[in-house]
Amino acid sequence: MKVSSIKVSIDPITRLEGHGKIDIFLDENGNVTNARVQTPELRGFEKFCVGRKAEDMPIITARICGVCPEAHHIASAKALDMAFGAPPPRTAHLIRELLYNAYIFYDHCLHLYYLGGIDVLLGDVEKKDRNVIGLIKKFGLELGAEIIKHRRYAMETIKMVGGREIHPVCAIPGGVSKRIKEEERKEIEEKFSKCISFAERSIALFKEVFDSDRWNELLGLDEIKTYYMGIVDSDNRVNYYDGNIRIVSPSGKEFAKLKPNELIENIDEHIEKWNYVKYPYLKKVGWHGFVDGEKSGVYRVGPLGRINSADGMNTPIANKEFKEFRKNGIVHKTFAYYHARLIEMLNAAERVYYLCQEKDITSDDIRSMPTKTGEGIGIVEAARGVLIHHYDVDEKGLIRKVNLIVATTNNNAAINMSVANTAKKVIKNGEVNDILLNKVESSFRCYDPCMACASHAIGRMPTIINLYRNGELYKRLVRDA
């Protein structure tokens, strides 16, 4: 069958956070010439936060994303620690880190069982069954109840420590507003000892799929050899709450190790002259188009970015899993994001458990007072990757300037490349159906992209996916909102 140029749209992209649409373009033979991802939304946080009281920022910016409010809340508070000259006492850091790891646990749990993980666990099932209800139908109510229960444990911990389940309020400049009482500490410790077992069970459940032909097919959908970036502690182990930023090359060599305030000067953002969409890349390597390899400054963040850029995990059981995962060096296959996410879910559960055993965790020395106003940079690992809040606070304590670099934006170029590669692989000779289109979406979901975060501001939206023919950039079509 000969057909003229056809556009196939997936609208809206589902099982992700925020809005998105994929357009796939076919040639006269029904093969993919290009594809693009649009994020048809923006809200303008960087504009309307100006003039606000600085101490309100952890509350306002949490509203960038209701799935990862803790990431914005804590990054914001860390920026204010610096801006107000109020370094938090050790206990405040421990409490924030505990809250933060509880967040990583529930957020990964959400992606693995409610959102993207469905693509891995259920296989090519019909649209109506590709959701958590379908998952419960296949695996049974007992597993469903376990998923809900352990996610609840994490949310209850966040509420206990942070004040609310969604959009917590406890992080303030110089520390936290609420201490952890002994009976609360004990409760969290008990809950998270169970979360460790649940994370181990989750790894076992997914590993059954990892041994299957289905998994090989998924792994084959996309592989790109990029740089990787993640926050590490002094022993180069993954740390979500604090540390330096380590970048490794596609072959696994350490490329750079940066202090949080050095990151901004090491990243540049590519701008197409016909478009203001920005694509972050490593300045020293340079922008050479949507290509992978040592010579391309494209990098990846998130679970795979962190695990590829670290030498280990900071907890024992997760570290064993890490060693197995990394036994052959760097892992480039995009679906490996799922395996990395499982290791991190286990790590986060263990980390909460160990933080509960820190002697100072229940101390009441939880905040220091502001001494000045000025510039502040706060950095954390959101579930989806490196997140930076950068503020300028005037002498009245009001926000003068805001710059936010969010996790999903860092993956912008890579997401574009993965969706394009997958579309080309699965759509042939004009055969398009719901199952094939879901495979295209599934390569996008590996990154657990958060379009709500990415579209907080104008000019930073991952609005485009450009596609290639014979390795050459073929067409660049879209402009952003």
Binding mask 147-176 for another protein (x = CB under 8 A): -xx-xx--x---x--xxxxxxxxx-xxx--
480 binds another protein (CB under 8 A): yes
Segment 403 to 442, residues that bind another protein, using CB under 8 A: 438
Binding mask 370-409 for another protein (x = CB under 8 A): x-------------------------xxx-----------
Q: How far is the CB of 125 from another protein (least distance, A)?
A: 10
Cα 394 from chain centroid?
31
Amino acid identity, position 84: F
Q: How far is the CB of 418 from another protein (least distance, A)?
A: 19
Distance CA 70, CA 96 (A): 9
CB atoms near residue 456 (< 10 Å): 26
Distance CA 88, CA 86 (A): 6
Nearer to another protein, 52 or 225 (CB): 52
Binding mask 6-35 for another protein (x = CB under 8 A): ----xxx-xxxxxx----------------
Residue 114: closest CA among 67, 69, 157, 72: 67
Q: Token pair 């009245």 is at which residue?
A: 396
State the Cα torsion 312-74-107-334 to the nearest 10°.
-50
280 binds another protein (CB under 8 A): no
Q: How many residues bind another protein (CB under 8 A)?
A: 85
Q: Are 229 and 309 in contact (CB under 8 A)?
A: yes
Distance CA 283, CA 161 (A): 39
Distance CA 207, CA 158 (A): 29
Distance CA 467, CA 472 (A): 8
444 binds another protein (CB under 8 A): no
Q: How far is the CB of 352 from another protein (least distance, A)?
A: 18
462 binds another protein (CB under 8 A): no
Binding mask 233-272 for another protein (x = CB under 8 A): ----------------------------------------
Output DSSP code: residue 271. Answer: E
Nearer to another protein, 247 or 457 (CB): 457
* Tokens representing residue 480 in the block: 């952003």
Distance CA 399, CA 435 (A): 48
Q: How far is the CB of 30 from another protein (least distance, A)?
A: 21
Segment 33 to 62, residues that bind another protein, using CB under 8 A: 38, 40-49, 51-56, 59-60
Nearer to another protein, 218 or 336 (CB): 218
Segment 166 to 225, residues that bind another protein, using CB under 8 A: 166-170, 172-174, 177-178
Instruction: List, in sequence order, the alpha helices (H) in 114-254.
Output: 117-122, 132-139, 141-162, 182-210, 213-219
Task: Candidates 32, 37, 64, 423: give the one binding another protein (CB under 8 A).
Answer: 64
Q: How far is the CB of 249 from another protein (least distance, A)?
A: 32
Q: Are 385 and 235 in contact (CB under 8 A)?
A: no
443 binds another protein (CB under 8 A): no
Task: Candidates 8, 26, 37, 65: give the one binding another protein (CB under 8 A).
Answer: 65
Cα 21 from chain centroid?
19
